[in-house]
Amino acid sequence: MTDRDLLFMPATAAASLIRKRALSPVEYVDAVLGAVERTQPTLNAYATVTADAARAQARVAEQAVMAGERLGPLHGIPINIKDLFATKGVRTAHGSAILADNVPAQDDILVTRLKNAGAIMVGKSTTPEFGHKGHTDGPSFGTTRNPWNTAHTAGGSSGGAAVAVAAGLGPLGLGTDGAGSIRIPAGACGVVGLKPTTGAVPYEQTSDSFFNYAAAGPLTRTVADAALMMNSLVGPSTLDPWSLGAPDNGALTPSLISEDLSGLRIGYLSAMGDCSADVAANAKASLTALAALGAEVEEAGAGMDWIAGPARLMYLANLNVYFGHHLEKWRDQMDPVLVEWIAAGSRATLVDFRKAQIARSRLYRAVQKLLEDYDFLVTPTLPTTAIAAETGKTVDALFNRGWNAFVYPFNQSGNPALSVPNGFGADGLPTGLQIVGRWWKDNDVLRLGAILERSRPWADRRPPT
């Protein structure tokens, strides 16, 4: 097996080989760290590389295998952790000069769970400042670039995680998604990205637990790897009230256990937003593949109000509340886009904000009503393939270009939403399909993604970088 084959091996396969003593965790981690070192100058996927610690943990992992100890499901598997999650003894800068010296005293609960499952952190992946936008660049670390074409954006805000997975710099990434921040880079970079049901995975990063619309979730090359990682992430935390009422991860809907999708109803939200011809063609080809397996596919959601204005107002107002107090001291070292968005958020009134919250409730109810008629809702993940990397440095980097038009509503509604690669555009860059399910049906969403993955394989494609 070549190093390149090893780097692009699914985590499920690597974990099996490690258990069989056919793959050394030490050699695996060394291969990943070597690839990180080679690509960091061009891709810039990592904010911090924890090479020494990763190699030490790999040696311990190998000793455990040789001693016949009980192994976790991710034993010996390299992983990147987005630089928004607290990591004990490792800088967590949130992509910002403000927190350049922040070294947490303990791990986030999800980092703890992944380590307990045997995963080995090789570094902290890049994020725009405080994860505020759908492109991954910033004055503190530069620009993270798309491995399929480095002139194009990686998406964001979990851009480093998606790039690392797409480029073979570790098969697993832990990201966050507050307005598409897992699914946007997944779509742009040609990987799998799941925003779970709000509360399925505890999210302790939010400043306002009760108003939260963000989630943590996996970025991987295959759907099976996302499912494997999810099994280690799910479960309640007393610090996240949404997670306390979460059921078990959930059994699969019977109709999804086989690939006979007869009777399964899929609503295609074709009127949700405009997209390029190649993105639309790939979405329709994916739906045709599911229909060939028996699914009933029809247009849905005509006339829906996706509350773009209210969602934007809430997002910007929250940025002002969370980060506006930094402006007096740090303005000149902050991302100009964040500074402008904080200013925009400062102009929102309390009445405006409450009206936006009420609009969110209307959207939530409308989405749930739609899912009474359909088992799944489907959209393209992004309206186009990855746009120019420099776009992220402009004030209209996210909202005015409709970059997250298909993804943000499902943060507001809380439904699980999965982006799966579904082909390539005319420019050779990946496209993605978003699959949205009912609350707590994360496993069903993953299963339908896996069926599409087998029907239209993509994981054998590798970027040139």
Structure confidence by residue, pLDDT tens digits, 267-312: 999 999 899 999 999 999 999 999 999 999 999 999 999 999 999 9
pLDDT category at 249 given cuts 50, 70, 90 is: low
* Dihedral sign (CA 311, 316, 317, 321): positive
Q: Determine, yes or no, domain membership for 329.
A: no
Query: Average of pLDDT values for 371-386?
Result: 97
Beta bridge mates, 96 = none
Q: How many other C-beta atoms are found inside a 10 Å radius of the C-beta of residue 460?
A: 6
Q: Element (H or E) spanning 194, and its range?
A: strand 192-195
- 331, pLDDT greater than 80: yes
Query: Average of pLDDT values for 213-241?
Result: 96
pLDDT category at 245 given cuts 50, 70, 90 is: confident
Q: Determine, yes or no, domain membership for 332.
A: no
Distance between CA atoms of 160 and 167, rounded to whole angstroms?
10
3-class DSSP state of 342? helix
324 exposure class (CB count in 10 Å sphere: 0-12, 13-18, 19+): middle
Cis-peptide, bond into residue 286, ω within 30° of zero: no
- How much is the pLDDT for 403? 87
Query: Average of pLDDT values for 359-370?
Result: 98
| Residue 369's CATH number | 3.90.1300.10
Query: Average of pLDDT values for 318-338?
Result: 97
Q: Determine, yes or no, domain membership for 160.
A: yes
pLDDT category at 368 given cuts 50, 70, 90 is: very high
pLDDT in tens, 426-460: 999 999 999 999 999 999 999 999 999 999 999 88
- 400, pLDDT greater than 80: no
Please give the share of the chain, as a percent, with pLDDT higher than 70: 97
Residue with tokens 């967590």: 92
Number of domains in the chain: 1
- How much is the pLDDT for 281? 98
- 395, pLDDT greater than 80: no
Distance between CA atoms of 355 and 346, rounded to whole angstroms?
16
- How much is the pLDDT for 251? 60
Q: Which of 163, 191, 160 has its CA nearest to residue 47?
A: 160
Evaluate whether 166 touches 147 at the Cβ level (below 8 Å): yes
User: Going by DSSP bridges, is the β-strand pair 296-299/430-436 parallel, antiparallel, or unpaired?
Assistant: unpaired
Q: Determine, yes or no, domain membership for 60.
A: yes
Phi and psi at residue 204, to the nearest 5°: -95, 5
pLDDT in tens, 24-66: 999 999 999 999 999 999 999 999 999 999 999 999 999 999 9
Tell me which residues are annotated as active site: 82, 157, 181
* Dihedral sign (CA 292, 294, 300, 306): negative
Evaluate whether 71 touches 19 at the Cβ level (below 8 Å): yes
403: domain range?
3-305+347-455
Query: Average of pLDDT values for 67-89?
Result: 98
3-class DSSP state of 347? coil
Please give the share of the chain, as a percent, with pLDDT higher than 90: 91
pLDDT category at 396 given cuts 50, 70, 90 is: low
Q: Determine, yes or no, domain membership for 170.
A: yes
Q: Determine, yes or no, domain membership for 207.
A: yes
pTM over 0.75: yes
Q: Which of 321, 316, 339 has its CA nearest to residue 399?
A: 316
Evaluate whether 294 touches 456 at the Cβ level (below 8 Å): no
- How much is the pLDDT for 254? 65
- How much is the pLDDT for 397? 52
Q: Determine, yes or no, domain membership for 339.
A: no
- 131, pLDDT greater than 60: yes
Query: Average of pLDDT values for 310-334?
Result: 97
Alpha-carbon distances, residue 156 vs 94, 159, 201, 391 (angstroms): 13, 4, 20, 12
User: Going by DSSP bridges, is the β-strand pair 172-177/78-82 parallel, antiparallel, or unpaired?
Assistant: parallel
Distance between CA atoms of 163 and 125, rounded to whole angstroms?
9
Beta bridge mates, 419 = 193, 434
Q: Determine, yes or no, domain membership for 318.
A: no
